[in-house]
Amino acid sequence: MTSEILPVVCDGAIVSWEYQSEVTFFPIISIGKGDDQAVDLRNLQSFLSVADHLNFTRAAEALGYAQSTITGQIRALEEEIGQPLFERLGKRVALTEAGRRLRPYAAQMVSLAREAAQVSAGADSFRGALIIGAAESHCVFRLPAVLRTFRLRFPQVQLQLHAGGCTALREGLRSGEIDLALLIAAQGEEPPDLVVRNLIAERISVVAYPWHPLATARQVMPADLTGAPLIHTEAESTYRIAFDRVLAAHGVKPGPIMEFNSVEAIKQCVMAGLGIAVLPHVTCAAEFEQGSLVELDWAGPAISVATQLVYHRDKRISPAMGAFIEAVQQSLVR
């Protein structure tokens, strides 16, 4: 048995550290007739990491492997399956049709293997792995305190974080690729196959640079944004969709739109004077206090969204997952 400190990885970036007290061994399973079609679940785990990152180097870093190990595991899996799973297009990597078909089944098999390991370890044992999906803003501004508290109480639970939008994270819950997720979504938006717990109402701010003409206005109406350059999150963002609907309902046509999938990139562009943004207040609180950004006195319709804790309705809640849910609720529910 070995003990080592390992990084908790959020799409390739280290966000905290985990304590792994034992080596996990994945079994070999058969996906066809005969022993020649047995598949090592470690190869499936590596396949899922490459499918998530579409980059062998980042996938290896996320799992703590050498890149040559990942490459060998994928090659072995392709030989076992009998078809290529990835297309290598120069430095780019893309899933083949066979890879896309395999991905949800691989996620389910790896998830079941984790659950089986937890059950065999004992119902009262807080160990095993949790894969958590979260919006980028939650990874940066909501989860670190939760992770620290949880890590101190349950050091043997391995945590892996995946940042993404609502659509991708919900699909990850359905496929079994992630165990639970923290989303920013409209209250009342509850798909029937998912359990949704509304934790906290998120205040959404209309944000500008300090010298913007609207920065000193007593109130800002939708019409005031006619022709104004906007800096937006990705198109599937819940609060962006709600804001776009407000502008459309008032017949407002903004100016040029820049789009980023990074809240930090959006804030930097606003501070550079490139436009106005709509962001969760928590992501800009420090900049408001420093004076590098200002919150406009928005007098238009409120944008109502909430942080939601979501998991699949058929998901078995392990002791570790139950403890994490409790930690999130204690930290975020007011």
The correct answer on CATH 3.40.190.290 for the domain covering 202-304 is yes
pLDDT at 24 over 80: no
Higher pLDDT, 14 or 80: 80
List, in sequence order, every beta strand (DSSP E) within 153-265. 157-163, 180-185, 194-202, 204-208, 230-232, 257-259
Count CB neighbours of 333 within 10 A.
Answer: 12
Secondary structure percentages of the chain, helix, strand, coil, to 5: 40, 25, 30
pLDDT tens digits, one per residue of 273-309: 999 999 999 999 999 999 999 999 999 999 989 999 9
- The reported pTM is 0.64
Query: Three-state DSSP class for 210?
Result: coil
pLDDT tens digits, one per residue of 99-139: 988 888 888 888 777 766 655 555 446 677 899 999 989 99
In the numeric block, the tokens 């599937």 are attached to: 236
Residues 6+ apart with CB under 8 A from 139: 10, 15, 161, 163
Instruction: Tell me how far apart the alpha carbons of residues 57 and 2 are, in angstroms, rounded to a whole number.
Output: 25
- Sheet architecture: strand order including 4-10: 13-20, 4-10, 157-163, 128-134, 180-185, 305-312, 194-202
Instruction: State the pLDDT at residue 305.
Output: 92
pLDDT tens digits, one per residue of 231-262: 999 888 899 999 999 999 999 999 999 999 89
pLDDT tens digits, one per residue of 198-216: 999 999 999 999 999 999 9
Count CB neighbours of 141 within 10 A.
Answer: 17
Higher pLDDT, 2 or 318: 318
So where are the chain's domains? Answer: 25-122, 202-304
Instruction: State the pLDDT at residue 12.
Output: 38
pLDDT tens digits, one per residue of 51-102: 888 888 888 888 888 888 899 999 999 888 888 999 987 778 889 998 988 8
pLDDT at 5 over 60: no
Instruction: State the pLDDT at residue 3.
Output: 35
Instruction: Tell me how far apart the alpha carbons of residues 275 and 258 are, in angstroms, rounded to a whole number.
Output: 9
pLDDT at 23 over 50: no
| 225: Cα separation from own chain's centroid | 31
Please report, as a single letter, which amino acid is at residue 224.
D
% of residues, the chain, pLDDT over 70 = 84
Residues 6+ apart with CB under 8 A from 242: 186, 204, 303, 304, 305
Residues 6+ apart with CB under 8 A from 65: 46
Question: What is 25-122's CATH topology?
Answer: Arc Repressor Mutant, subunit A (1.10.10)
